[in-house]
Chain A
Amino acid sequence: MTHHVLDMPVDEAAVRALRVGDTVTLRRTLFGIRDATLIHMFDRGRETRLELAGHAVIHTAPNVRRVEPSEAAPVGYEPFCIGTTTSMRMERFTRPLMEREGVRLIIGKGGMGPGTLEAFRDLGGAYLAIVGGAAALETTWIEQIEDVDMDDLHPESLWRFRIRDFGPLLVGMDSHGGSLYANVRDDVASRRAAVLASIGAGE
């Protein structure tokens, strides 16, 4: 188990060095993305002016305050509460995010499926697990909302956050076929029959 500190953006080698069970702290830049953002980008062909290559995206839609644009709030938004949403809904977008935009890391909760694991293996990516629902804490790792695109989808816009020591995050899926979620799923499957029998509901 290794701890990695990654100054974003990163190259393929840095991501291939991550193994499930490792921990990661990210620095500098993080992008926020979720359902509507991805639907518009990949189902409706919308382009973004933001450069995602080598970056990490987090499955989120933040609570923000509208303020007068200033040096501290360049696009007129202050972070208020930024947390993480369930990743699995966005499963089919992992490969296009990596192929078209060059994204390297996905941060989310609950894990993702076999399609994502394959994309990580083929293209060099990893999934970093954050504790869902711990948004007040997560917000303290975010310094500023640097930029926003596709804000007509607000709050499901594409957000660029400036971060400080974002983590520790747990490598839940890696580029070598490893998935903590698949491991847990197998373990749970092996316990199912005994649990059902213990409540008289065996098959």
Chain B
Amino acid sequence: MRLDMNEVEAVCSDLYVRALKILPPDIKAGFKELVGAETGETAKAVLGTMVENIAVAERTNNILCQDTGIPIYNVTIGRGVDFDGAELKAAIRRGCERSTKENSLRSSVVHPITRKNDQTSCGVRVPIIHVDFDERQETVAIEMIPKGSGSENGSFLQMLLPSDGINAAKRFVIDRVIELGGRVCPPTIVGVGLGGTSDLCMHLAKMAATRPLRSVCSDPEGARIEAELSRAVNELGIGPQGLGGRSTSFAVHVEIAATHITQNPVAVNIQCHSARRATATITPGGIAFS
């Protein structure tokens, strides 16, 4: 399959606005679960408003949240795909810019020193593009994540010592969730990275925060810790929007990587309740959005 870059551009444009408008089904199901378990009156009212907002966005064809985020494109390329890598990156960038213009999206991206906004949602190294490869025949999957920044500002890395053990990492996660309170737009998905180098550990936390609900860490030890932490964070009483209640998080997700004998890194990255993402799968048969 030869990857058509005009098609990639159009798909990347569509993906941005789709992600902003349509909340994935797993997050909607997550809301149902939280509403069912919530007992606080304020918390129930806040969750009710969030659920109402999802319906209003669909009815009025509006985007869910005003924060158009930092655009992230995760591209997974299968076998038997013929493409030019430099062209692929350029097409993704054009698609991101086109979506911003055509849909009147707020450009939330500025130069880090001058703070200049080019009004394109693009800038130096943004959109963020990750490319990976898998075994699927003649398949390219592009996942778009408009990463909201109220929650992105809830990011932490700690290079703990091996002698601190895993319990110090768990304590670190709980304490950061407490510190953040309502600032990160709870109910959240708490993404936790364990292991790797400092940069990989942060990346693991982002992977975890943007994973679908109900998905489980592929490592059994990681899965055990995410189940434990998922239960624990909702005992803290922070609640939706930090106004008290059970519904602090949909879940805590953990991703792991091997690390150095001297290291014990832990990272936290938060996803807000507007946990938006959209995926397009390109095959010789056409394009499917999910």
Contacts and interface: CB of A to CB of B under 8 A. Distances in A.
Interface of A: 36, 60-66, 80-86, 88-89, 109-111, 129, 131-137, 139-140, 154-155, 170, 172, 180-181, 183-185, 187-189, 191-192, 194-196, 198-201, 203
Contact of B241 (A64, A132, A203): A132
A131 B49 contact: yes
B123 to A, nearest CB: 15
A201 B170 contact: yes
Contacts of B184: 86, 110
Given A60-B66, A181-B181, A137 B49 contact: yes
26 contacts: A83-B67, A85-B150, A109-B241, A129-B243, A131-B46, A131-B241, A132-B65, A132-B272, A133-B148, A133-B272, A134-B49, A134-B53, A136-B60, A139-B60, A139-B62, A140-B60, A155-B107, A180-B244, A181-B181, A181-B243, A188-B181, A191-B235, A195-B235, A196-B170, A199-B228, A201-B168
Interface string B63-90: 1111110000000000000000000000
B229 interface: yes
B56 interface: yes
Contacts, number: 171
A110 B150 CA distance: 9
Per CB-CB distance, the 5 closest pairs between chain A and chain B, nearest first, are A83-B66, A136-B57, A134-B53, A110-B182, A110-B183
Interface of A is mostly: mixed
Contacts of A80: 62-63, 104
A74 B231 CA distance: 52
B106 A155 contact: yes
Given A109-B185, A140-B56, 10 more contacts: A60-B66, A86-B153, A110-B241, A131-B46, A133-B50, A133-B273, A136-B63, A155-B106, A187-B237, A192-B175
A60 B68 CA distance: 12
A132 B199 CA distance: 30
B280 interface: no
B253 to A, nearest CB: 16
A196 B171 contact: yes
Interface of B: 42, 46, 49-50, 52-53, 56-57, 60, 62-68, 104-108, 115, 117, 119, 148, 150, 153, 167-168, 170-171, 174-175, 178, 181-185, 228-229, 231-232, 235-244, 272-274
Given A136-B57, A180-B244, A203-B171, A188 B238 contact: yes
Contacts of A192: 174-175, 178, 236
A156 B131 CA distance: 33
Contact of A181 (B175, B182, B274): B182
Contacts of A195: 174, 232, 235-236
B167 A201 contact: yes
B63 A170 contact: no
A144 B146 CA distance: 27
